[in-house]
Structure 1
Amino acid sequence: MSLLIGTDEGLYLVRALPFERDDAELVLDCGMVTGIETYEHTDDVFLSSSSGAYRSSDGGETWMDLGVPVGSRYWHAGESEVWSVLSTPDALYAGTNDPYVYRSVDDGETWMEMKGFRDLPSRGHWESPIDPHYARLRCLESVPGRPEQLIAGVEAGGIHLSRDGGQTWHDRRDTIVDDVHEVVPITEDVWMAATGYLDHTIEKIGLGHAVGTGGLHRTVDGGDSWTRIDVGNPFSYIRNVFVHDGTLFFGGGEEAPPEWVHDDHGAALFESTNFGRTLDRVSYPTEETQVIDTWDVYDGDVICGSGLFDVPDPREDIEGCVMRRDDDGTYHDVGRVPANIGTIATV
């Protein structure tokens, strides 16, 4: 079993855990990796990045550019970036930081923009914290058992839903905080969402940038309403949530990434065996500085990756760390790569 490791500086492949730094092979020089996706309906692996979207049909050894449109937006902004990719049995989807949604029904040969996404009423309020401030379509998901029902999470612009494969969209920004990092649909109606601190309403009335509440949110009615389940958690800048064998996992940081440049933050890892009614804080090897950003399962064990992402001045002293959880709940360092880890996937 191999592991793909997406970093700020490209995609690495390791063929076993644990691994030494020299064992990590750079297999795709694509800039910052924003997502790696695998699916039960296909053996292909899909990747989104600052240089485009890619597909591998050989377990991550080689990659093909899917040709998602990333032409120049404005003279001062350069090319768009692909922040999310979704495969369903009938179509491929990609989300950019324009933000636009694209769909392909011929396996990536051609792409069409789903222009209904531009018509969402709240679109004029969306904004990214990173210059030039175009919002990122950070996650695209399909509802379990309903491949035509799509979920889009915007950083920062809330959550939006489509029931017809992306042709038309329903604005749900008013149901959850603006700064959506990830949505994990567990069943048709039960989803989890990891969020951050950017709140456009608070910012617009002069109370400052990135002073929202963030946190981990849950819906039990298919996105009609959301409830924060980690109320009181100070480590509420959360990028990823993971569910495996009845246990809920997530890592969080204090403050937003700009405060992490000089380690002016804390970080924490939480587990819950009762779906968030109680949270247990768990120690991990890099908790003094690094925030956990990604999860998967390797040979039956939960694994995760950490780093310091989205800091204004990337730190050369940070090595991304892969950790493995033992049966007794202890996390161990099983290998490092020379850049922040944003996403991992077993293949």
Structure 2
Amino acid sequence: MSLIAGTDDGVFRASTGTTEDAQRVLDAGRVMRVRRFDSIEGVFAASETGLYRSRDGGDSWTDLGVPREEVYSVVAGPDGERLYAGTHPAHLYVSSDDGESWRELGGFQELPSREEWYTPRHRNEAHVRSLGTHPDAPERVIAGVEVGGVHVSEDRGETWTERREGVHDDVHHVLVRGPETYVASTGSGLYRTADAGRSWSRLDGGLDHRYFREAITHEGRLYAAAARSSPGTWSGENGADAALFESENGDGFERAPYPGGPEEVILAWTVADGTVTAGTNGGRVVRRSEDGWREAGTLPASIRSLAPA
């Protein structure tokens, strides 16, 4: 099985055992997210130049023509009938014909806090950074906005409810662990909900790192990585001071050393060949083994997202 990496310089494909054979297969600028879905064919790349799809493992790609060019997130409905794309500025689009045409989900713009979604570092705008669904709640769509919080739809994206109270509004990723159980990685903490966002609790209370980008679970174990502060500080005197944490179901974390740390921050996760695999802002790929983390190779650009090819 090959690995697909979304980077600051397009999409790369490489062997999961090593990245020595890595090649850039899509020149799309900065790629925010690469994803595969059980309900729909292909691998998807959400990038600053559009949403692309490959049906052949990355050899060829098609621009799906989302109305706004900067696409930050993508998810397929559990039944495969709908494909959703989240953009910058923060708008949400849906396709019901396999990406042939798109319609804006206007209800997303009617959320009460919509006018508050902006930050100076993102051109005084926001983006839909994360989208999720779960097969046990097929009508539900979960959206994470940077900066704007978490929001949930119960009717396949047509109308929306805010679920941002109790969670930091700088949302980078929402890990959907069950129909109502999510883990939100934010710019100021790691949060969990067991009731579809109606209430949130902190998972990082005992940690001294607060800037989380993404989390993943595999075989009941939760993996998360963080830096002490936002990316603007990573090249400063103290560096990123990054850390990788592991936990059994989020109940207490253990810190684990990894190749590249603490200078390099883990930004991306996937499970490839049954093994948890991560990518860093230094372009390093690391994999979990029985005796800890080992390096699998490097790519020539910062890795933002990973998926099996």
Q: Same fold (TM over 0.5)?
A: yes
Q: Which residue of 2 aligns with 1:187?
A: 178
Q: Which residue of 2 aligns with 1:344?
A: 306
User: Residue 60 and residue 127 in structure 1: after superposition, are their counterparts in 2 closer, same or farther (change >3 A)?
Assistant: same
Q: Could you list the runs of 5+ residues in structure 1 that have no partner in the other structure?
A: 71-79, 197-213, 308-318
Q: 1:321 aligns with which of 237, 261, 284?
A: 284
Q: 1:32 aligns with which of 22, 30, 33?
A: 30
Q: Which residue of 2 aligns with 1:205?
A: none
| 2:137 is equivalent to residue 162 of structure 1 | no
2 CA distance for matches of 1:98 and 1:237? 22
| 2:93 is equivalent to residue 102 of structure 1 | yes
How far the C-alpha of 1:233 sits from its partner, in A, is 1.5
How far the C-alpha of 1:173 sits from its partner, in A, is 2.3
How far the C-alpha of 1:301 sits from its partner, in A, is 1.6
The alignment's C-alpha RMSD in Å is 1.3
Contact map agreement 1:83 1:95 (CA 8 A) in 2: yes
Q: Could you list the runs of 5+ residues in structure 2 that have no partner in the other structure?
A: none
How far the C-alpha of 1:103 sits from its partner, in A, is 0.6
| 1:17 counterpart letter in structure 2 | G
Contact map agreement 1:116 1:168 (CA 8 A) in 2: yes
Number of aligned residues: 306
How far the C-alpha of 1:261 sits from its partner, in A, is 2.3
Q: 1:66 aligns with which of 60, 64, 67?
A: 64
Contact map agreement 1:13 1:25 (CA 8 A) in 2: yes
Contact map agreement 2:9 2:31 (CA 8 A) in 1: yes
1 CA distance for matches of 2:134 and 2:88? 22
| 2:266 is equivalent to residue 292 of structure 1 | yes
| 2:105 is equivalent to residue 143 of structure 1 | no
Contact map agreement 1:144 1:185 (CA 8 A) in 2: no
1 CA distance for matches of 2:65 and 2:303? 25
2:121 aligned counterpart, secondary structure:
coil
1 CA distance for matches of 2:119 and 2:47? 17
Contact map agreement 2:2 2:16 (CA 8 A) in 1: yes
Q: Which residue of 2 aligns with 1:225?
A: 199
| 1:27 counterpart letter in structure 2 | V
How far the C-alpha of 1:230 sits from its partner, in A, is 1.1
Q: Which residue of 2 aligns with 1:203?
A: none
1 CA distance for matches of 2:237 and 2:201? 30
User: Residue 139 and residue 263 in structure 1: after superposition, are their counterparts in 2 closer, same or farther (change >3 A)?
Assistant: farther
Contact map agreement 1:4 1:14 (CA 8 A) in 2: yes
| 2:6 is equivalent to residue 17 of structure 1 | no
| 2:66 is equivalent to residue 92 of structure 1 | no
| 1:115 counterpart letter in structure 2 | G
User: Residue 99 and residue 11 in structure 1: after superposition, are their counterparts in 2 closer, same or farther (change >3 A)?
Assistant: same
How far the C-alpha of 1:148 sits from its partner, in A, is 2.0
| 2:256 is equivalent to residue 282 of structure 1 | yes
Deviations 1:52-71 (A, max 9, x none): 0011111122111000012x
| 1:335 counterpart letter in structure 2 | G
Q: 1:267 aligns with which of 225, 234, 242?
A: 242
Q: 2:294 aligns with which of 332, 335, 346?
A: 332
Contact map agreement 1:267 1:290 (CA 8 A) in 2: yes
How far the C-alpha of 1:175 sits from its partner, in A, is 3.4
Q: TM-score, normalised by structure 2?
A: 0.96
Contact map agreement 1:144 1:186 (CA 8 A) in 2: no
Contact map agreement 2:186 2:212 (CA 8 A) in 1: yes
How far the C-alpha of 1:19 sits from its partner, in A, is 2.7
| 2:205 is equivalent to residue 257 of structure 1 | no
Q: What is the percentage of aligned positions where both structures have the same residue?
A: 43
| 1:2 counterpart letter in structure 2 | S
Q: Which residue of 2 aligns with 1:199?
A: none
Contact map agreement 1:13 1:24 (CA 8 A) in 2: yes
Could you tell which deviates more after superposition, 8-17 or 220-229?
8-17
Contact map agreement 1:128 1:136 (CA 8 A) in 2: no
Q: TM-score, normalised by structure 1?
A: 0.85
Q: Which residue of 2 aligns with 1:5?
A: 5
1:118 aligned counterpart, secondary structure:
helix
